[in-house]
């Protein structure tokens, strides 16, 4: 615009002819050169006045009409030898002029005024008139060229103005988007700018993070409000401004004065530079998250894990996890020592399995697969041979399937029970020794009692016979208990032998039936159904289990009730069941009934002898045959004890 005005001024002042500019709808005289003022007989006081007020003598003549038409239409116009009556020294005088009128436009192309050029041709001679006309034509041509230049300038200015407005609109929209982003962000955000730095945008989360108010940040420099951290973080922000490179910090511990109180907090924050078109940082966006609670919780968890680790090590425990799909095996350092491996060495799942004693290895693998498939609890005791030292260690492993970092895995602990097993071995050896020593006098005593019974029966001394029979019965019970203790000690010391042979369970049940009918008169025993069922097992040990289950049924049911014994084949399993009509077992006792030395408590149990080893022996014998044993009971109405064994098919038998 300044270039256009200077061009006008240059043209106006340089012209030897009257030139003036009428601006706006009111046609105010804003520019007039000395030649124009001289013709009018006026001075510069008329500048700023409307044309019709400054030169009232022209209002009724054609000149004002021509100027108005050019302003309204925008089309240039010329008037040759236009006669105008002017007032000179209070005298009216007719003056003849040639006029040229050009419309003036702004940068947007709108008409802002009319530029007027005039030539006095009143008393000139024809030659001078012609010369003047030639000069006027030349001037007009120059003016036309100048006007075209002005129009080009105006068009470029209009285009620049449009581009500037578009850029301003985009900038305004961008600023609005940034403001919305800051206000709606789920984390603390603040934009700082200027020298000194001021917060130009900030959300409530950031204010809560630093413990300051919006008013404080709006009227004070950023580092004045946050003076307690300025010494550490102002140089970092200055470096971000200088380099244009962002700065990240995770769980950074800092001291903030929040609401007037000093607080130690942990913050994740980022200083992100905002770059201009020259790729220079003009502002910094600060993004901050208070992670104090997360850090405190993690440290508590770490302390708890460390305490747990120390406690586990002190208790001789080791932890492990097994991924069922990949067999990835993770163990604690203390657990590696169970396998005879140094704590800084790795151990694979295959290596760990291979270190298990071969007598237990297949059962451990089988139980692990059952846990992986059925999500059952893993609880086993077995010996491990040390990888490097060859030492045998007894361990108890307990675990369950759990979700670990989004993946299902078996997690648990391993407990070194070597000393416990040694204590049990010593106890079993002692029990075995004592039981063996007790059997000798009991055997002699039983022989003497039986000899006395034969003698007293011949003498028909009923009292003595009755007493001797009761004594013989008690000796039998004592012998059974001693045999039970001997079997337990042999079982747990690994001295009990399983002699696998092929036989028919139905025949074994038949023999048991004959024996029961001769020895049990207090209860009715029904053996049905009894089907031919071939198994490969220890005949004596399985017979011992059946007899034990029948004896328990007799012991825990009222005399005169019925006991049902069945032998059938279900799929690939042989099933033996013994059902009574006795007192039954409560659910909380049923889950523990096969544990060693476990006895059901209750007033009815005082009159029933036993040490809780019979069912434990039955369960161990069945488990060593890769069978299953269980109980189904209705408390107060009776129980059914059952066990199953793998059957042998005819093809296997022939093989």
Angle at the Cα of 299 (from 296 to 304), degrees rounded to 5? 125
Please report the pLDDT score of residue 227 as a whole number.
Answer: 92
Average pLDDT over residues 152-175: 66
For the stretch 538-596, pLDDT in tens is 898 898 899 889 988 998 899 899 999 999 999 899 999 999 998 888 888 887 888 87
Is the pLDDT confidence value at 140 over 70? no
**Band (106; pLDDT cuts 50, 70, 90):** confident
Is the pLDDT confidence value at 605 over 50? no
Please report the pLDDT score of residue 603 as a whole number.
Answer: 46
Please report the pLDDT score of residue 607 as a whole number.
Answer: 41
More confident site: 597 or 520: 520
Please report the pLDDT score of residue 509 as a whole number.
Answer: 92
Is the pLDDT confidence value at 164 over 70? no
Which residues touch 213 (CB under 8 Å, ≥6 apart)?
207
More confident site: 97 or 414: 414
**Band (125; pLDDT cuts 50, 70, 90):** very low
For the stretch 295-346, pLDDT in tens is 888 888 888 777 766 766 666 677 888 888 888 888 887 777 777 777 677 7
How many other CB atoms sit within 10 Å of the CB of residue 116?
23
Average pLDDT over residues 103-118: 85
Q: CA 546, CA 152: separation in Å to the nearest integer? A: 118
Please report the pLDDT score of residue 58 as a whole number.
Answer: 65
- In 3-state terms the chain splits into helix, strand, coil percentages (rounded to 5) of 50, 30, 25
**Band (628; pLDDT cuts 50, 70, 90):** very high
Average pLDDT over residues 99-107: 84
Q: CA 526, CA 356: separation in Å to the nearest integer? A: 45
For the stretch 23-39, pLDDT in tens is 998 899 988 888 888 87
Q: CA 473, CA 477: separation in Å to the nearest integer? A: 6
Please report the pLDDT score of residue 645 as a whole number.
Answer: 94
Please report the pLDDT score of residue 126 as a whole number.
Answer: 44
239-243 own/partner pairs: CB under 8 Å, 24+ apart: 240/271, 240/273, 240/281, 240/284, 241/273, 241/281, 241/284, 242/281
CA distance to 258, 322, 329, 336, 357, per residue, from 342 (Å)? 51, 20, 16, 7, 20
Please report the pLDDT score of residue 329 as a whole number.
Answer: 85
pTM over 0.85: no
Q: Which residue has the tokens 């108010």?
A: 213
**Band (452; pLDDT cuts 50, 70, 90):** confident
Q: CA 193, CA 283: separation in Å to the nearest integer? A: 5
Percent share of the chain, pLDDT over 90: 19
**Band (462; pLDDT cuts 50, 70, 90):** confident
Asked if 286 contacts 190 with a C-beta cutoff of 8 angstroms, the reply is: yes
Average pLDDT over residues 263-282: 89
**Band (616; pLDDT cuts 50, 70, 90):** confident
For the stretch 363-386, pLDDT in tens is 889 989 988 888 888 888 888 887
Q: CA 429, CA 493: separation in Å to the nearest integer? A: 8
Is the pLDDT confidence value at 418 over 50? yes
Please report the pLDDT score of residue 331 as a whole number.
Answer: 82
- To the nearest whole number, what is the mean pLDDT of the chain? 80
Please report the pLDDT score of residue 99 as a whole number.
Answer: 80
Q: In what order do the strands lie in the sheet with 524-530?
A: 524-530, 562-570, 573-579, 638-646, 628-634
Ramachandran area for residue 357 (φ above 0: left; ψ -120 to 50: alpha; else beta): beta
**Band (431; pLDDT cuts 50, 70, 90):** low
For the stretch 506-528, pLDDT in tens is 999 999 888 888 778 889 999 98
For the stretch 481-504, pLDDT in tens is 666 665 655 555 555 667 889 999
Peptide bond between residue 202 and the one before it cis (omega within 30 degrees of 0): no
**Band (168; pLDDT cuts 50, 70, 90):** low
Which residues touch 60 (CB under 8 Å, ≥6 apart)?
none
Is the pLDDT confidence value at 608 over 50? no
């Amino acid at each position: 615009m300044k270039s256009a005005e200077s061009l006008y001024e240059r043209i106006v002042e340089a012209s030897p002819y009257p030139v003036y500019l009428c601006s706006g709808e009111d046609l105010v005289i804003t520019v007039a050169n000395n030649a124009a003022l001289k013709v009018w007989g006026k001075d510069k006081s008329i500048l700023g006045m409307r044309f019709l007020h400054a030169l009232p003598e022209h209002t009724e003549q054609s000149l004002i009409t021509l100027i108005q038409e050019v302003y309204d239409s925008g089309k240039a116009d010329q008037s040759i030898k236009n006669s105008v009556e002017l007032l000179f020294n209070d005298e009216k005088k007719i003056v003849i002029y040639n006029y040229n009128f050009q419309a003036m436009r702004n940068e947007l192309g709108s008409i802002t005024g009319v530029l007027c050029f005039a030539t006095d041709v009143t008393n000139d001679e024809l030659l001078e008139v012609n010369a003047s006309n030639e000069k006027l034509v030349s001037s007009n041509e120059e003016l036309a060229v100048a006007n075209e230049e002005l129009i080009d300038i105006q068009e470029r200015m209009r285009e620049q103005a449009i581009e500037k407005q578009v850029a301003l609109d985009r900038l305004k929209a961008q600023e609005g988007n940034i403001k919305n982003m800051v206000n709606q962000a789920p984390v603390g955000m603040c934009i700082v700018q200027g020298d000194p730095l001021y917060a130009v945008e900030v959300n409530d989360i950031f204010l809560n993070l630093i413990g300051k108010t919006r008013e404080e940040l709006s009227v004070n420099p950023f580092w004045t409000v946050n003076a307690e951290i300025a010494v550490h973080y102002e140089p970092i922000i200055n470096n971000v401004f200088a380099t244009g490179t962002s700065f990240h910090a995770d769980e950074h511990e800092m001291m903030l004065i929040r609401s007037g109180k000093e607080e130690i907090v942990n913050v994740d924050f980022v200083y992100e530079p905002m770059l201009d078109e020259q790729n220079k940082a003009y502002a910094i966006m600060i993004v901050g998250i208070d992670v104090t609670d997360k850090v405190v919780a993690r440290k508590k968890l770490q302390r708890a894990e460390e305490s747990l680790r120390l406690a586990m090590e002190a208790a001789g425990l080791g932890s492990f996890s097994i991924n069922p799909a990949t067999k990835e095996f993770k163990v604690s350092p203390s657990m590696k020592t169970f396998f005879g491996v140094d704590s800084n060495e790795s151990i694979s799942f295959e290596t760990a399995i291979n270190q298990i004693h071969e007598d237990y290895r297949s059962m451990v693998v089988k139980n692990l697969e059952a846990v992986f498939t059925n999500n059952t609890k893993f609880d086993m005791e077995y010996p491990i041979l040390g990888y490097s030292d060859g030492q045998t260690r007894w361990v108890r492993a307990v675990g369950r399937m759990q979700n670990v970092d989004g993946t299902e895995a078996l997690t648990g602990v391993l407990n070194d029970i070597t000393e416990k097993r040694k204590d049990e071995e010593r106890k079993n050896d002692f029990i075995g020794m004592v039981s063996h020593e007790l059997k000798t006098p009991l055997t002699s005593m039983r022989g003497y009692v039986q000899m006395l019974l034969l003698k007293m029966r011949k003498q028909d001394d009923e009292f003595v016979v009755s007493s001797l029979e009761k004594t013989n019965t008690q000796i039998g019970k004592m012998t059974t208990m001693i045999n039970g203790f001997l079997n337990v000690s042999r079982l747990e010391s690994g001295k009990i032998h399983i002699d696998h042979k092929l036989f028919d369970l139905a025949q074994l049940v038949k023999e048991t039936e004959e024996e029961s009918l001769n020895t049990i008169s207090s209860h009715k025993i029904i053996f049905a159904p009894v089907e031919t069922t071939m198994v490969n097992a220890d005949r004596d040990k399985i017979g011992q289990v059946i007899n034990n289950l029948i004896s328990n049924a007799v012991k825990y049911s009222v005399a005169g009730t019925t006991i049902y014994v069945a032998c059938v084949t279900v799929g690939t399993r042989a099933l033996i069941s013994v059902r009574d009509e006795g007192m039954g077992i409560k659910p909380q006792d049923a889950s523990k009934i096969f544990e060693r030395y476990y006895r059901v408590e209750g007033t009815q149990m005082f009159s029933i002898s036993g040490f809780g080893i019979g069912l434990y022996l039955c369960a161990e014998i069945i488990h060593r045959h890769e069978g299953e044993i269980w109980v189904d009971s209705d408390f107060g109405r009776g129980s059914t004890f059952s066990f199953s064994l793998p059957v042998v098919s005819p093809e296997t038998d022939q093989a």
